[in-house]
Amino acid sequence: MTWNVTLCYHSNLIHIRPLRFVCIFVCSLLIGFGVLVTPQAQSVTGRFSRALVSVSHGLIQMCGGHATQNGAILRAPGGFAVEMRDGCNAVNVTILLCSAVLAFPATWRMKAAGLLAGIAIIQAVNIFRFVTLFYLGQYSMTWFDFAHAYLWESLIMLDTMVVFWFWVTRVLRAGAAPHAEA
Amino acid sequence: MPKLKPQSRFLLRGSVLLVCLLSLWWFLLLSPMLSMLKGAAGAFLLIQENPSGDWTLRVPLEKTLPATPEQPVAQQVHSIDFDIPRSDVIAFTFSLPVYWAIILAAPGVRRNLRPLLVGTVVMAAVEVAMLLVFAEISARGTAAQLAGGEDAVGKWARQFGGYLLASVLPYATPFVVALWLHRGLRTEIFPWSSAVEAPASAPPVDRAQGRRSKMRRP
């Protein structure tokens, strides 16, 4: 009977962690998105979007491209213009990543490092996405709609998942893993 | 050629599959999937498709509109009609190809068939449910506007629900369902999954080994 008792004990112990992860993840997610739709947060994300457009504009000019910036709008010489609205600034996937990192059992130092690196990677990919959409829109509006609403959104979500996966692997290697805490 | 890490392999395969399957969906599968969505959601709502491709939805909703200076008698509303542009309806079909891409990019091709089939049914049901909830939120928003004097909490709740349904759930649900149904992918990302699932399939350990492992526990 000994092995049976051992298995039950082991099983009960490790069942707690997935449940804890899911609870913290869902709560963080709801709080994050709940705050995001308030008018106060909207004005902050509006400023953030304008900053991202400034960086994209700077990159285009640095690479020899031509564009003019007006707030959160980037305009091509041919007349095509693209605006970075709420939902295009990758804040939603950033909230998803933050919730997952906060919910995963690791040291606060590892969590902070994961959040900083993860947000930087996601925003770098998002700026690349914005610049590619700016050029794609000048070529074809049909392709722009497809890439903007579906393809790039899915790719950024996939990137976010892989960033989290890399971070979890690093946490386990560093010994700050859930097994080490048990 | 150096061997790629599982994460990099998953990212590369996933990105290629997303491009291929979303293109297939956009050019070939979109119209049949919209018809199926209309058929499934039509069991709960009255849906009419306009020549432009937009949908007109009739949501049953009992509400009394108070009297106003323009309308001196209170009115009883039984349903709300509103239009959804085709571009918005499309968002309720695109989670399925994203789900297929994630499952096919996951490690272990032979283990992918069952989650692919089960997940397709789950994702289709989730997409119909999301459309129904979206219709309900939109109808309640319209009714609140007609009644006038929208309360701040109700307005925030509708915005919150609308944001989740339009900007978060269609993109995040395929990943959550894939992690839920694909054991291989789940155990790769979450280390505890293998520990939880191993005892169920593993043969019982011998008594001496069990005793030793018990003694090691705090």
Q: Indicate the DSSP class of residue B151.
A: -
Residue A108 has pLDDT above 70, yes or no: yes
Indicate the range of B52-56, B66-70, B200-204 predicted with least confidence: B200-204
Q: Select the residue from A9, A37, A97, A132 to test the B interface by mutation, using most B Cβ atoms within 10 A.
A: A37
Computed on alpha carbons and rounded to an integer, the radius of gyration of chain A in Å comes to 21
Chain B CB within 8 Å of residue A11 CB: yes
- A66-80, B13-27, B164-178: which is most confident: B13-27
Q: Which two tokens stand for residue A142?
A: 């049909």
Residue A54 has pLDDT above 60, yes or no: yes
Q: Do A157 and B164 touch (CB under 8 A)?
A: no
**B205 compared with A151, residue with greater pLDDT:** A151
Chain B CB within 8 Å of residue A16 CB: no
Starting at the earlier edge strand, list the strands of the sheet with A68-70. A68-70, A73-75, A81-83
- A1-15, A31-45, A123-137, B144-158: which is most confident: A123-137
The residues in A 32-61 lying below 8 A from B, measured between CB atoms, are: 33-34, 36-38
Please report the DSSP string for A31-63 in residue order.
HHHHHHTSHHHHHHHHHHHHHHHHHHHHHHHHT
- The whole-angstrom separation of Cα B207 and Cα B190 is 29
Q: How much is the ipTM here?
A: 0.82
Chain B CB within 8 Å of residue A166 CB: yes
Domain boundaries, given as residue ranges, for chain A: 2-181
The reported pLDDT for the residue numbered B45 is 86
Prediction pTM value: 0.82
Mean pLDDT of A5-20: 54
Nearest by CB to B163, from A10, A37, A158: name it. Answer: A37
